[in-house]
Amino acid sequence: MRRRRCAVLLSLLLLAWIASAPTPAVAFGTIDGGGQHREHERITRAALACTNGESACFEPATMNYLAGHDREFGAVGAPDSDEMADPAAHCDDADYLAGSYPRTREAAGASLTDCVEQLRGQFRTGLDSAKDLLDDQGEVMPDEVTVSPECNPREREESRAKCTTMEAFGRVLHGAQDFYSHSNWADQADPDRPIGDDNPPGLHRPGPSPLLDLRGATVAGSPANFTTGCYVLQDQVPGVGACELRITHAALNKDRGLIDPVDGRATEPGTPRGQVRDNFADAVAGAIIESRRQWQDFGTELTARYGADRGTRMICALTHDDPVQDCHGRHPNWAAIIALAAAGAALVVVVVLIRRFRRRPRG
């Protein structure tokens, strides 16, 4: 009996310790719980779903995979399943503050470059995967463009071209969106506290950012006072461990709040930095604009690499739920041709009958 009580007591203590341990918070939210409200999904929908009137928008079933839904992370949430510990996937660790600081501006710049190069790699992976969307004649490949059953970025066997292309692009979106939450690009410092590692300066700039030009070969120089946050599992202010005396993710992030998935309106910020002025809303607005820029750039690169005709059909195949029906290539649409021929034949018959009627002698 005493042994059982000890075991129960130890189990309760373990549960209490787990409940009180810091929750990893490396990005805009991917789940609905633990303070997260599926922020990545909602930003992606507000930016690229057909409900907002954007051109080359993503239709519902395809958007479900790109943005995620219910308990599915989607392509944009993929880094939170297998890259949580990689700061480059979330644009973390590019922290710097003028004055006495435990790391150099050059080290911060190197971390920013790591993020941009990581996203460029995913951008190129997506472009490479897109070649298998079409056959040699430029027609969509039915088995490669279907999203039924839904794509799953966590399945190693997933090889459909549409799925692999969108997974890579979703990882681009994730990092690009995190850039606005995890950096001071769009935000402002708390005016009621002195500037320091717990209250870094804000740049208050709009998106898109020239730092995230993924089509380029170099990384643009960051402006003075630019910073992201240092991240470790025990994320707090002041920083501990590797983040001691540094600007931390906890001090800078604007990850939490409510976002309307249609118009992108952001309310009820859930982090200290997000609650300063309009910081959460500004970060969300920047992330939405950046997501649209990245998709536009991706489409531009598809046409540049594969030609206007094939690139246009690739974009169609990636955005439409039924590419086989909606994204015809150069081959004739035989159904339409047969219907047109039938209509022409009927017209000929009518003309012949009219002529015969006119030639009849009147009685």
The reported pLDDT for the residue numbered 158 is 87
The reported pLDDT for the residue numbered 71 is 86
The reported pLDDT for the residue numbered 157 is 78
| Residue range of the domain that includes 87 | 21-331
Same domain, 295 and 349: no
The reported pLDDT for the residue numbered 360 is 54
The reported pLDDT for the residue numbered 19 is 38
How far apart, in Å, are the Cα atoms of 90 and each of 97, 124, 230, 277? 20, 18, 11, 24
Same domain, 317 and 339: no
Give the chain's residues under pLDDT 70: 1-26, 29, 31, 52-55, 155, 329-363
The reported pLDDT for the residue numbered 330 is 52
Separation between Cα atoms, residue 98 and residue 108, nearest integer Å: 12
Helices (H) and strands (E) in the chain, counts: 12, 4
The reported pLDDT for the residue numbered 258 is 97
In a domain, 11, yes or no: no
Separation between Cα atoms, residue 126 and residue 246, nearest integer Å: 35
Same domain, 189 and 88: yes
Same domain, 311 and 352: no
The reported pLDDT for the residue numbered 337 is 43
Same domain, 281 and 353: no
Same domain, 268 and 290: yes
- Looking at the structure of the chain, the number of domains it has is 2
Separation between Cα atoms, residue 287 and residue 312, nearest integer Å: 25
DSSP 207-272: SSPGGG-TTSSS-PPPPTT--B-B--SS--SS--GGGTTS-BHHHH----SEE-TTT--EES--ST
Same domain, 231 and 351: no
140: helix, strand or coil: strand
Asked whether the beta carbons of 268 and 257 are under 8 A apart, the reply is: yes
In a domain, 256, yes or no: yes
Same domain, 165 and 29: yes
Same domain, 120 and 180: yes
Which two tokens mark 202? 């804000």
In a domain, 4, yes or no: no
How far apart, in Å, are the Cα atoms of 273 and each of 187, 237, 250? 8, 12, 8
